[in-house]
Amino acid sequence: MKIEVNGNTIEVKKGEMLLTALKNVGISIPTLCHMEDVFPSGACRMCVVEVEGDKNLVPSCAVEVREGMKVKTHSPRVLKARKTIIELLLASHPDDCLYCERNGYCELQSLSEELGVRERRYTAKKPDYKIDNSNVSIVKDSSKCILCGRCVRVCEEIQGVSAIDFVGRGSKAVVAPAFNQGLNLSSCINCGQCVRVCPTGALTEHNNIKELISALMDPEKIVVVQHAPSVSVTIGEYFGYKEGTDVAGVLTAALRKIGFQKVFDTAFSADLTIMEEASELVHRIKNDGKIPMFTSCSPGWVKFVEQFYPEFIENISSCKSPQQMLGAVIKNYYAPKNGIDPSKIFSVSIMPCTAKKFEAERREMASSEGNPDIDLAITTRELAKMFKMFNIDFSSLEPELPDNPFGLRSSAGKLFGATGGVMEAALRTAHFMITGKEMEDLELKQVRDMSGIKEASFNIGGIELNVAVVSGLANARKMLDEIKAGKKKIHFMEVMTCPGGCIAGGGQPYGLDKKKIEHRMKSLYKIDKESEVRCSHRNESIKNLYKDFLGEPLGEKSHKLLHTKYKKRKTNY
């Protein structure tokens, strides 16, 4: 159908919300509460527009297009309404932008600039809330909350966790866990999706830049770093690169420039994870083990099972995540081989995920008592801030290769960054382990795309394997409930905590733009398609690691260093 917008006729789809229709033709409308793929609430009113025939301004997110509709998106009346909303929000908002974690990336700040707010027209008593830093991954500052509801909705509707909700009424309303307790006592799984969608500094990750800089300055420490597969196709967005551009080589050079003595690629240990995980899957299938087997590389998902579905704990693969595997190998193989005291190594990981901070501190993840395998985990966002602090100019750097032996990776390990990637990598290697032959077509399109739930069946050497790929924990709930009810017969299931996988992790750039996430996913597929080594079992460095140190997958040494176990987790919710 056709509608008129600002005097111009445009074509829109019947049944579309006006906000979506306008966005599709390149007209930008400000929002604060709106989220794609969830039912519109129309709570913030920032997206109001003027529609001919309607007495009041209408929220474009909650109004369907209709034939012949005449709309003004930026009339004086509309701009005045939006400006007033911002002024009212700022009336009780803290004036600490210079010190705020979101300074420069705050949507409230950006809208104030866009709408020309230059004076305080309204005043209100500023709330005196204590900052909640009880959670190892996430910090909550309710004084900066504008009650947009994004965090509540992503936690409940997308993640199925419901760790937070609106507490209190009227001017005393606040977003908090049950009984207004700390996040550490809630059902929070540390995924950070609330942080990624928060428009202000009300929710942020624990910033560990200070500790990292202290380590880099300590002459007694040997500071090494690993970066996750999805980081190299994301970090460039902060420095003017097109979404999805792989800057792995420049990233390695930049990390060396700020002082890291060794730079490793977590995609290497993703290959290591596949060797162990595929072996475990084959072993379970051939020996009537616990089926379905669930992947274990996403720490938010693991904690989700521990809390909500403890009856499935034995179904989780005993494999540690790639972050933890590489941490264990660095301190237990690399250090002794190079005559280094493991206690002098300060092992850092750069992750797309706030839950990795939690995972690094789990007691189950330490391969030796009192000596964690990962000393510090930082997010993609924290790394971008560090690069800017150190005045790193990406455009002036020549690409460099990461350090071996933990720099050589297959493209299968790189696929870990996207939903379906672990499944695809594992099946490539499981097929070889079962049949002794490579898959004819390595690209398993059945498990590729942004869908929240994907199911497929593969016949591998006469074994019929039913698999499922899930991202977003509300989708995981659906699958687990159906498996419990006997409605699904699944042998192997990959679960990524964040919708779309690590490319949309809680530690990735702020924002809600799904197109950026899709570009990152396409980049990982492109890397895979153009790589010479596309299977984890073909990685020569992995072969050498087993030959020189680990022995064999699921062997005594590899099981001790690369595997762990979980147990039911208690919470006060």
Q: In angstroms, how far is the first alpha carbon of the chain from the final one?
A: 49
User: How deeply is 60 buried, as exposed, middle or buried, from its count of CB atoms within 10 A (0-12, 13-18, 19+)?
Assistant: buried
Q: Supply the pLDDT for residue 172.
A: 87
Amino acid type, 441 = D
Judge whether 73 and 48 are in contact, CB under 8 Å. no
Q: How far apart are CA 330 and CA 372, in angstroms?
A: 11
DSSP for 182-233 reads -GGGS------HHHHH-SSSSEEEPP-HHHHHHHHH-TT-EEEEEE-TTTTT
Helix (H, G, I), strand (E, B) or coil at 37: coil
**Helix pair angle (421-435, 266-286), 10° resolution:** 50
Token look-up 């009336």 returns 91
The whole-number pLDDT of residue 502 equals 97
Rounded Cα gap, residues 98 and 116, in angstroms? 19
Q: In this structure, are residues 534 and 442 in contact, taking their beta carbons and an 8 Å threshold?
A: yes
Please name which of 55, 35, 38 lies closest in space to residue 47, comparing C-alpha atoms: 35
Measured between alpha carbons, how far is 263 from 255 in angstroms, rounded to an integer? 7
For 339, the 3-state DSSP assignment is: coil
pLDDT in tens, 172-199: 899 999 988 999 999 999 999 999 999 9
Residues 509-539: pLDDT tens digits? 998 888 999 999 999 999 999 999 999 999 9
Amino acid of residue 112: S
Beta bridge partners of 139: 204
Question: Number of C-alpha atoms within 13 angstroms, CB side, residue 7?
Answer: 2
The SS3 call for residue 431 is: helix
What per-residue confidence (pLDDT) applies to 369? 66
Over the stretch 373-428, which tens digit does the pLDDT of each residue have? 999 999 999 999 999 999 999 999 999 999 998 989 999 999 999 999 999 999 99
Contact 157, 474 (CB under 8 A): yes
Q: How many CA atoms lie within 13 A of 159 on its CB side?
A: 31
Taken in order 101, 345, 230, 282, the sign of the CA dihedral is negative
Q: Which two tokens stand for residue 572?
A: 């006060």
**420, burial (CB in 10 Å: exposed 0-12, middle 13-18, buried 19+):** buried
Instruction: State the pLDDT at residue 358.
Output: 97
Task: Give residue 3's identity as a one-letter amino acid code.
Answer: I
pLDDT at 405: 87
pTM across the whole model: 0.94
Whether the link from the prior residue into 405 is cis, omega within 30° of 0, is yes
Q: Give Dmax (Cα) for the chain.
A: 79
CA distance 437 to 429: 9
Domains parsed from the chain with CATH numbers = 2-74 (3.10.20.740), 89-205 (3.30.70.20), 210-562 (3.40.950.10)
Q: C-alpha distances in angstroms, 512 versus 38, 99, 277, 303, 373?
A: 12, 24, 33, 25, 33
C-alpha–C-alpha distance, residues 126 and 121, integer Å? 15
The DSSP code for 548 is: I
Residues annotated as catalytic (active site), given as ranges: 277, 280, 297, 317, 356, 359, 364, 502
Contacts for 456-465: CB closer than 8 Å, 24+ residues apart? 458/427, 458/431, 460/427, 460/430, 460/431, 460/434, 460/435, 461/431, 461/434, 461/435, 463/285, 463/434, 465/285, 465/427, 465/430, 465/491, 465/492
H-helix segments, 340-464? 355-360, 380-389, 411-414, 421-435
In the predicted model, residues of the chain with pLDDT beneath 50 are 573
Secondary structure (3-state) at 347: strand
Of 285, 280, 317, give the one whose Cα is nearest residue 458: 285
Q: CA distances (Å), 360 to each of 277, 293, 346, 460, in order? A: 20, 23, 13, 36
Q: Which two tokens stand for residue 416?
A: 């870990």
Contact status, residue 199 vs residue 154, Cβ threshold 8 Å:
no
Residue 50: how many CA atoms within 13 Å on its side-chain side?
Answer: 14
Q: In whole angstroms, what is the distance from residue 212 CA to residue 378 CA? A: 9
Find tokens 């049949």 and name the residue. 435
CA 356/CA 360 separation, integer angstroms: 6
Query: Is the preceding peptide bond at 292 cis, omega within 30 degrees of 0?
Result: yes
Calculate ∠ Cα 481-193-355, nearest 5°: 85
Residue-level pLDDT at 132:
97
Q: Give the span between the Cα atoms of 39 and 49, in whole angstroms.
A: 19
| Interval 262-289: pLDDT, tens | 999 999 999 999 999 999 999 999 999 9
